[in-house]
Chain A
Amino acid sequence: MALSRVNAVVVGSGAGGGVVFSQLAEAGLSVVCLEKGRWHSPFEERKDDLVNQRNSSLGVAYGPDEEKNPRVFVDLEGRERIVYPHQGEYSPNASCVGGGTFSYGAQAWRYMPQDFRMRSTYGSLEGSTLDDWPISYDDLEPWYEKAEHEIGVSGDVEPNPFQGPRKKPLPMPPMTPKSIEYEILKPAALRLGLHPFDTPLLINSVPYNGRSACMRIRWCVGFGCETNAKNGTQNTVIPRALATGNAWLRAECKVKEILLDDRGRARGVAYFDERDRLQEQPADLVVVSGGATESARLLLLSKSRLNPNGLGNRHDWVGRNLTGHTYTGAVGFFDQDVYDDVGPGVCISVCDYNHGTPGLRGGGMLANEFIRLPYQFVGAHPPGTPSWGKAHKGFMRRYYRRNIMVQGPTQDMPTWDGRVTLDPKVKDHWGIPVLRISGDKHDHTIEIANRQAERAEAWLREAGAVLTYQRRAGRGVSGHQHQSGTCRMGDDPKTSVVDASCRIHDVPNVFVIDASVHVTNGGFNPVLTIYANAFRASALLVKAWRGGGLRG
């Protein structure tokens, strides 16, 4: 039986969906947000170092549900196997109210102007679908500002000469006092002629928006924040949406497909509710914000006579160009303790290497690492040294408090074959075909990422590390928590899925608003760009709604 009709359904409550939910609700539309995962309270947060989104050796803490959501992974030899959310090959992202933003590390980066014009800046690249965005940094700048203020960002980016122009400073100062890592790495970067600065974070350094300041523990990334000082959609825009009275969030609801009418327009969605009952939610428009893997899956699942290969997939672009980031860096070991357990961990960064290296198409930001969970440090010993036994235990004892890790996300060169599709055989708990992930990184991505590792090592050496080694790039498709690119935004319907307003080219009332639409993914953590683009696309959507063009 169909539920009563609403103006809009938003699928997903993460960085994209949470923002859209609030913006449509505040504009007066009746909105239902369907979230696959559960509500979690920050006040129940229990730091379990083996069960979280950072290290999921014994499972993920914030979804997706392990048993209900398998996927199929195809390795470089073409062998396929079923994988589950605690495994890296799954390309997991958290699944709960707030999506990844409940447990993320919360770095708040604006992409640089060049990041929106990669093809114009560097030319085309054989074997890559490298291209420009249909929008520029200047188009997004006001929305970056809105995201920084309405979600809440602390830091000091003024010393970063490489950032695009900004009109307002960040709303919160950087964290003080500084950690030992900061005091060691900053002068070392200056000696190298670099331009270090306080990493922007979506974490309160002072009380902000009615919530408290960070208490400076280091267990941020991969965990919820028990003092609620970390800003995600679950404690900013979602409460605002619910406060309007014309917005409803339904958790533990798994959307099955977008329902289409004879004219090829969406008339709502079908979903399984928290008791696995099939429901129909009619709506005037549908916004897909499930993250780059699940958004593509939902479009591919939504077939009709006019869209036999899935929504927006007339030219076979849905699910392609899956990019995350290739993380590389270095570990440095010191003769003295450099560990003070002062959070949030990442605090000092440089953007000197994002662009401008001859022969390289871009690069990435470098920063110190968030946290070393003791179990994760087990694998941090230098290559070629014992990985077990007395010597390894001695390594752990000597160096756990005497190491610094510097790393960063290298901007991936997108590829046609790095992709998600629907698996022809395997079904999930609800009987819906699961995702099949396949592909590899572009060789040039690996070349850039390894250069970044060399740079990280040089920084640590200058900082006084007596022993260093590089963590270099491995092969295999890119994805994971920074997943993006699968529903590319563009002006040409033949080479993209959505237009510059994030509307599917050939479907007037379905939008994709999350990192799926990123043409390229910057050399930065992507979340602030997802927030900013969601504010921008929501404003365009509201304008179109008020113009009457979206009503069936």
Chain B
Amino acid sequence: MDDPYAVGRRGFLKTGAVAAAATAVACAGPKGRWRSLTEEEATTLAAACDQIVPPDEDPGAAQAGVVTFIDRQLATRRKDDRPIFQAGVRGLDATAHRHHGRPFADLPFEVQTSVLQDVEKGAVEAADWTDVEPGVFFGRLREHTMMGFYGDPRHGGNKDRVSWKMLGVPDPPIRGRLHETPPPPALAPRPSPSPATRKG
């Protein structure tokens, strides 16, 4: 069973081996701090997300935790998008290598922008994009990045409500009651092997 509130990145770093064992049992995905992504995919995605919402006087997507958001969604509610992201990240890096000799994340910001514009338009080498249409991947990348940056922080993105502060949304949001409620029961942390791992 997938669970977006199972021990995540922070919990893992804080609680060490016990939590690592629990995480490994809980989700048979790639090892490490991510639930769906490899470390390399996460690096490429962080750069790509920062193209969608770049840092300026306000934080960009990567700083707002959008990669954590995407990692969680690909393991839970948006599982179907996982192959699209895997193939798309491969395509993005292959395109960067073909034209610039380096992975996407290592390119200068402006060069990344032009690569991503080509991906959006589909103006890329078909051999680098055999498993997903570039436009389909770009659409999901933009959708997930925007959700992660502008959506509710409970899903892993919008860290410290950075986008809501930027927009001037009342912060904390005005609510009748229980505006800081824990996640609903279905999403609550599953029982942990020791009390020390409860900080998911």
Contacts and interface: CB of A to CB of B under 8 A. Distances in A.
Contacts of A401: 167-168
Count class of interface residues, chain B:
35 or more
B175 A397 contact: no
Count class of interface residues, chain A:
35 or more
A388 B155 contact: no
A43 B181 contact: no
B124 interface: no
A389 B164 contact: no
A160 interface: no
A162 B179 CA distance: 41
A423 interface: no
B166 A390 contact: no
A397 B58 contact: yes
A226 interface: yes
Nearest to B117: A389
B173 interface: yes
B151 A50 contact: yes
Interface string B140-165: 00110111001110110000000110
A47 interface: yes
A49 interface: yes
B150 A375 contact: yes
Given A58-B77, A401-B167, A47 B173 contact: yes
Nearest to B113: A389
B54 to A, nearest CB: 5
Contacts of A57: 143, 147, 151
A341 B77 contact: no
A58 B150 contact: no
B168 A400 contact: yes
> Chain B interface mostly helix, strand, loop or mixed?
loop
Contact of A375 (B56, B146, B166): B146
Contacts of A374: 150-151, 163-164, 167, 169
> Chain A interface mostly helix, strand, loop or mixed?
loop
A393 B175 contact: no
A397 B166 CA distance: 6
B142 A50 contact: no
Nearest to A337: B168
A466 interface: no
A169 B93 CA distance: 66
Contacts of A306: none
Contacts of A217: 174-176
Nearest to B120: A388
Nearest to B146: A378
A389 B51 CA distance: 6
A226 B181 CA distance: 12
A357 B146 CA distance: 41
B53 interface: yes
Contacts of A377: 150
Interface in A379-401: 387-390, 392-394, 396-397, 400-401
Interface in A19-45: 43-45
A215 B166 CA distance: 25
B78 interface: yes
Interface string A210-245: 000001010100000111000000000000000000
Interface string A388-431: 11101110110011000000000000000000000000000000
B54 A59 contact: no
B177 A226 contact: yes
B184 interface: yes
B178 interface: yes
Contacts of B54: 389-390, 393
Nearest to A393: B53
A110 to B, nearest CB: 30
A136 B176 CA distance: 41
Interface string B30-68: 000000000000000000000111101010000000000
Residue of B53, B147, B150 with highest tally of chain A CB at under 10 A = B150
B3 to A, nearest CB: 14
Contact of A400 (B73, B151, B155, B167): B167
Contact of A50 (B155, B167, B168): B155
B170 interface: yes
Given A58-B77, A374-B150, A389 B155 contact: no
Given A374-B163, A393-B53, 19 more contacts: A43-B177, A44-B178, A44-B181, A46-B184, A48-B152, A49-B152, A57-B151, A58-B78, A58-B155, A226-B175, A226-B177, A339-B168, A374-B151, A375-B151, A388-B145, A389-B51, A396-B163, A396-B167, A397-B167
The 3 closest A-B pairs by CB, nearest first: A226-B176, A400-B167, A374-B150
Interface of B: 51-54, 56, 58, 73, 77-78, 113, 142-143, 145-147, 150-152, 154-155, 163-164, 166-170, 173-179, 181, 184
19 contacts: A46-B181, A47-B179, A48-B152, A57-B147, A215-B176, A217-B174, A217-B175, A225-B176, A226-B178, A227-B177, A374-B167, A375-B147, A375-B150, A375-B151, A388-B53, A389-B113, A393-B58, A396-B167, A400-B167
